[in-house]
Amino acid sequence: MRKRLFLWLLLCMGAIAASAQQASSPWFDDKDLALTGVYYYPEHWDESQWERDFKRMHELGFEFTHFAEFAWAQLEPQEGVYDFAWLDRAVALAAKYDLKVIMCTSTATPPVWLTRKFPEILLKHEDGTVLDHGARQHASFASPLYRALAYRMIEKLAQHYGNDPRIVGWQLDNEPGVQFDYNPKAELAFRDFLRKKYKNDIQRLNDAWGTAFWSEVYSSFDEITLPKRAQAFMNHHQILDYRRFAAAQTNDFLNEQCLLIKKYAKNQWVTTNYIPNYEEGHIGGSPALDFQSYTRYMVYGDNEGIGRRGYRVGNPLRIAWANDFFRPIQGTYGVMELQPGQVNWGSINPQPLPGAVRLWIWSVFAGGADFICTYRYRQPLYGTEQYHYGIVGTDGMTVTPGGWEYATFMKEIRQLREHYAPREEKPADYLARRTAIVFNPENSWSIERQKQNVTWNTLGHIEKYYRTLKSFGAPVDFVSEDKDLSDYPVVIVPAYQLADKDLIAKWKTYVEQGGNLVVTCRTAQKDRYGRLPEIPFGGMLTPLTGNEMEFYDLLLPENPGVLSMDGKEYTWNTWGEILKPASDAEVWGSYIREFYEGKPAVTFRKAGKGTVTYVGVDSTDGRLEKDILKKLYARLDIPVMDLPYGVTLEYRNGLGIVLNYMDKPYHFDLPTGSEVLIGETDIPTAGVLVFKVKK
């Protein structure tokens, strides 16, 4: 009876959580489910062809297009001289064919008059190379002059289009990444960043960076330079601050652009199109943006897929992970670029498997996106991306196989709109297994500098848990540490190296109030500056886990260690902590065949109304992590599935979406009473099944 009550409580927790977290966005109509669009560069094509192209775009089913991304030279052909007439004509023609427009700030491509007149805005590499005109992304975000010139252009554009109902929203820059820029202005900005952080007190900085070591001590902020990658033994506390600074440069630039646009644009959203490089550390760091978007390419030569031709289909969790990372930041997300066919920049650029393009679109949809945009409508006839497929080919008219797959999706989504149910209509058992993974890229930066074992891989470690959760058919949110965790029945904190007492206290409260926390090795071993606290190693966690650590061990991969749990054996080598558990803890896994044979590696303990599972080891292949989570969810009475790697299941809008990235068909057992809307229960490779959930 008590067990059932607990299960019921969990189900309620899940349902409430989802509605709080994923309320549909004010910018999109939930009834549309998801909108589909495509990039178009009017400036690349003869104006006489625009109308034909927009007409065809519309006929294929697209609902919006995307303009002006790299058009600074056309928008401001001479300094202070603006020309929006051509863009006005393109916007008007697009509107004639019911295509809304995403407008872009073309800051990734400053025109040549600008770079020749103001070469000091150019980005500089560590080896002294100064980037130049003729490609893109050659300007330094740290240059105040570049920012001022960019803002002047953006303000004109926002004044012109901010009130235009044909423009639905804005994309800032293009795939803005973190720059490791040696422009002298970056060095000055780094010093300012440090002055502010350390309250103009160099002694504070010396303490934070431990500069007593190797005579690294500074007497003034003016002596500080940008860390050089060539210095292998560079002070890593400094590198931590440098990476925070570098991320902030990009974030501030985007935030300022956004605020400027919002002065004029009252009913248009603003986002940017990040590459999902999670460890870069800037994604989600510009608070003025309305939501976050990403770009995703799936087939580019590396075989991350399943089977002999897996590279034609791509990594089964590549889109899922991006969905689960971007959505929780602001409750919704869009995908700005998705590959329609072959790309031009991979190590090898194969054809996607027939069906794969549609599979990717559905994968984006499954995660809860509000829109999906593909890169690009026409294959370019000149320039760097000539071999890049589009929705139509080089003649501008022949629809490519990927183009037809888009058309199919757009027909299907229109059909589904007739079955509309609210975004949050999801089955209770799905919501019950809702899990958060707490992520902070600073942990990767810190561990990366002192890995202690070349085989350690922070994202790889996290993936072992993520992959398991997706096989459970669990909805997963990657969240930052300041997020309220109380909505999640289970929270995983993997290799979270940098911490402080407040964070540990927050996790402790979560557990005491009924949460179930899984903490993994390397967590809370250092403070926020990357220093070891003057307590027993790993001791910051003791108040939470009850464990103390005797020592940690690292083995050679060719001769791994073994641990055992419930009679099964697992191998490991990268990192293993030898634990001294609290007297009330259960030992779930112990090391064998080592001089510390029998000592604990995995512990479980009840605390308050919740539980803490501590996994002090990183296994070779993820089987251990999977079995630990299976054991835990069973203990908590949380129902889980057992989907094979390559099959994922998500729910939204009262629909179940099953995706098959495997190299063989997969039979899906429909939940009783559900109705198939798209596809069939025997799902072929690259196939998709969409079913309506029984209420």
Q: Which residue's CB is nearer to ligand GAL, number 337 or number 650?
A: 337
Asked whether the beta carbons of 572 and 563 are under 8 A apart, the reply is yes
Asked whether the beta carbons of 51 and 43 are under 8 A apart, the reply is no
Q: Which residue's CB is nearer to ligand GAL, number 111 or number 616?
A: 111
> Alpha helices of 76-161 — where are they, by DSSP H?
85-96, 112-117, 144-161
Q: Does residue 337 belong to the site contacting ligand GAL (CB under 6 A)?
A: yes
Measured CA to CA, the distance from residue 668 to residue 671 in angstroms comes to 9
Q: Which residue's CB is nearer to ligand GAL, number 337 or number 424?
A: 337
Q: Does residue 194 belong to the site contacting ligand GAL (CB under 6 A)?
A: no
Measured CA to CA, the distance from residue 394 to residue 379 in angstroms comes to 5
Q: Does residue 379 belong to the site contacting ligand GAL (CB under 6 A)?
A: no
Q: How many residues bind ligand GAL (CB under 6 A)?
A: 10
For 87-104, b/e burial (b = at least 16 CB within 10 A) is beebbebbbebebbbbbb
Least Å from the CB of residue 339 to ligand GAL: 7
Least Å from the CB of residue 254 to ligand GAL: 15
- Length of the chain, in residues: 695
Q: Which residue's CB is nearer to ligand GAL, number 361 or number 437?
A: 361
**Binds ligand GAL (CB under 6 A): choice among 32, 43, 51, 175:** 175
Q: Which residue's CB is nearer to ligand GAL, number 237 or number 282?
A: 282
Least Å from the CB of residue 540 to ligand GAL: 40
* Contact set for ligand GAL, span 273-312 (CB under 6 A): 295, 297
User: For ligand GAL, which residue has the nearest CB?
Assistant: 175
Measured CA to CA, the distance from residue 684 to residue 227 in angstroms comes to 51
Measured CA to CA, the distance from residue 141 to residue 24 in angstroms comes to 33
Q: Tell which residue, 214, 79, 105, 199, has the closest CA to residue 160.
A: 105
Q: Which residue's CB is nearer to ligand GAL, number 389 or number 633?
A: 389
**Binds ligand GAL (CB under 6 A): choice among 27, 151, 198, 375:** 375
Q: Which residue's CB is nearer to ligand GAL, number 307 or number 380?
A: 380
Q: Does residue 388 belong to the site contacting ligand GAL (CB under 6 A)?
A: yes
Least Å from the CB of residue 285 to ligand GAL: 19
Q: Tell which residue, 642, 645, 672, 647, has the closest CA to residue 657.
A: 647
Measured CA to CA, the distance from residue 553 to residue 595 in angstroms comes to 11
Q: Which two tokens stand for residue 169?
A: 């929203």
Least Å from the CB of residue 107 to ligand GAL: 13
Beta bridge partners of 591: 563
Least Å from the CB of residue 108 to ligand GAL: 8
Least Å from the CB of residue 70 to ligand GAL: 7
- Per CB under 6 A, the segment of 337-345, 419-427, 440-448, 624-632 that binds ligand GAL is 337-345
Least Å from the CB of residue 695 to ligand GAL: 41
Measured CA to CA, the distance from residue 479 to residue 439 in angstroms comes to 6
Q: Which two tokens stand for residue 616?
A: 């002090």
Token pair 């400027």 in the structure block, residue? 260
Q: Does residue 318 belong to the site contacting ligand GAL (CB under 6 A)?
A: no
Q: Which residue's CB is nearer to ligand GAL, number 270 or number 437?
A: 270
Q: Tell which residue, 402, 362, 370, 406, has the closest CA to residue 679.
A: 362
Measured CA to CA, the distance from residue 245 to residue 250 in angstroms comes to 9
E strands along 160-235, which residues? 167-172
Q: Which residue's CB is nearer to ligand GAL, number 136 or number 531?
A: 136
Least Å from the CB of residue 63 to ligand GAL: 21
Q: Which residue's CB is nearer to ligand GAL, number 296 or number 464?
A: 296
**Binds ligand GAL (CB under 6 A): choice among 21, 106, 140, 174:** 174
Q: Which residue's CB is nearer to ligand GAL, number 76 or number 337?
A: 337
Measured CA to CA, the distance from residue 169 to residue 123 in angstroms comes to 29
Asked whether the beta carbons of 340 and 386 are under 8 A apart, the reply is no
Least Å from the CB of residue 385 to ligand GAL: 6
Q: Does residue 335 belong to the site contacting ligand GAL (CB under 6 A)?
A: no
Measured CA to CA, the distance from residue 205 to residue 190 in angstroms comes to 13
Q: Which residue's CB is nearer to ligand GAL, number 53 or number 337?
A: 337
Measured CA to CA, the distance from residue 97 to residue 55 in angstroms comes to 6
Measured CA to CA, the distance from residue 233 to residue 630 in angstroms comes to 41
Q: Does residue 343 belong to the site contacting ligand GAL (CB under 6 A)?
A: yes
Least Å from the CB of residue 175 to ligand GAL: 4
The footprint of ligand GAL (CB under 6 A) covers: 174-175, 295, 297, 337, 343, 345, 375, 385, 388
